[in-house]
Amino acid sequence: MNNLEIREIQEKIFKIEENISEIFIGKHEKIRLMLLGLFSGLHVLITDVPGVGKTTLTRCCAASTGMDFARIQFTPDLLPGDIVGMTVWDIERQEFVFKQGAIMHQFILADEINRATPRTQSSLLEAMQDGTVSVDGKTWPLAEPFFVIATQNPPSFLGTYHLPEVELDRFGIGFALGYPDDPDAAKILSLGHQLNPFKELKPVVKPKDIVDIRKKVQEIHVSDAIKAYVVSIAKETRASKYISLGMSVRAMQHLLVLSRAFALLAGRDFVIPEDIMDSAIPVVTHRLVFTADMRIENKTPQSIIETIFDKIKKPV
């Protein structure tokens, strides 16, 4: 990959960021992290209290990329067939036909995913992992590019189900938005209330651009020393007394993928240790299971990950 290609990709990312910022005020680092997930093919999980802009951020991203969008509101009565589709009897044709579910779109917002039952949540697993859905013994491919952003309320909230570890492991990136700071909150109030602000957002890239950039991300070079570095990090998470469930192999793969995207955004065609360190918190913390020692000793997931990095010698 030459420097011209890298600059063109950077410009597209910056254009999308600028376009999103017209509606979604502040949290620029979260916007960029979400876009890195989009361009690296890693699905995103946003966990936070209601009303901080999770859905707004997602809708702005979809509108800016021109991808075919569908929002699925997860509720306790939602069934797997509502998501992946089902076979129904066609009276005119006198045969069963496949009726597509809401998942048959390029950009999926799984809103408040932890309000649905585990059975319904599990209907996303095949789609997120393989890009297909299977109904009544037949497998159907999903549109490309395919991207899922799921939002969830804190697990302590009423009417929520805990996401199982196997589902959390499918999300490559996880983060919380948090409340806006005072200047951003004032800007949000000055904008007033628009019923549908997304109508004003025009796409600045095409879906084909997303597919092309994902291919370029995979071309970013990762040395054997960097791979060994990731293996050492994973081993430390499995040995830590603060972590009962460490990094999976999939988590290691996702860590490398996001580090490639960070390298590309920085204008490089190779990964350095700092890319791994920048990627670790959003890739790792939401899928680890922490022990009681973490709370007893007043540790945070971020501080535990940082301690692990301090133990491991960075490759040169």
Query: What pLDDT, on the 0 to 100 scale, is given for residue 162?
Result: 86
Query: What pLDDT, on the 0 to 100 scale, is given for residue 187?
Result: 86
Q: What is the tens place of the pLDDT at every residue in 225-255?
A: 999 999 999 999 999 999 999 999 999 999 9
Q: What's the average model confidence in pLDDT over 76-88? A: 91
How many helices (DSSP H) and strands (DSSP E) are in the chain? 14, 11
Q: Worst-scoring range by mean pLDDT, 12-16, 64-68, 90-94, 265-269? A: 90-94
Query: What pLDDT, on the 0 to 100 scale, is given for residue 307?
Result: 93
| pLDDT over 80 (residue 171) | yes
Contacts of 81 (CB under 8 A, 6+ apart): 101, 135
Contacts of 296 (CB under 8 A, 6+ apart): none
Query: What pLDDT, on the 0 to 100 scale, is given for residue 193?
Result: 66
Work out the percent of the chain whose per-residue pLDDT is above 90: 73
Q: Which residue is it, tokens 């951003």?
A: 184
Query: What pLDDT, on the 0 to 100 scale, is given for residue 159?
Result: 83
Q: What is the tens place of the pLDDT at every residue in 136-147?
A: 888 989 989 999
Query: What pLDDT, on the 0 to 100 scale, is given for residue 149?
Result: 96
Query: What pLDDT, on the 0 to 100 scale, is given for residue 206?
Result: 94
Question: Does the structural domain 3-212 have CATH classification 1.10.10.10?
Answer: no
Integer Cα distance of 264 and 284 in angstroms: 20
For the chain, the distance separating the N- and C-terminal CA atoms, rounded to the nearest angstrom, is: 23
Query: What pLDDT, on the 0 to 100 scale, is given for residue 194?
Result: 63
Query: What pLDDT, on the 0 to 100 scale, is given for residue 157?
Result: 87
Q: Give residue 192's pLDDT band: very low, low, confident or very high (50, 70, 90).
A: low
| pLDDT over 70 (residue 5) | yes
CATH fold of 220-311: Helicase, Ruva Protein; domain 3 (1.10.8)
Q: Give residue 195's pLDDT band: very low, low, confident or very high (50, 70, 90).
A: low
Q: Where in the chain is the domain with CATH 1.10.8.80?
A: 220-311
* Total-model pTM: 0.92
Q: Where in the chain is the domain with CATH 3.40.50.300?
A: 3-212
Q: Give residue 2's pLDDT band: very low, low, confident or very high (50, 70, 90).
A: confident
Q: What is the tens place of the pLDDT at every residue in 271-288?
A: 999 999 999 999 999 999
Query: What pLDDT, on the 0 to 100 scale, is given for residue 156?
Result: 82
Sign of CA dihedral 92, 96, 99, 104: negative
Contacts of 62 (CB under 8 A, 6+ apart): 69, 107, 109
Q: Give residue 16's pLDDT band: very low, low, confident or very high (50, 70, 90).
A: very high
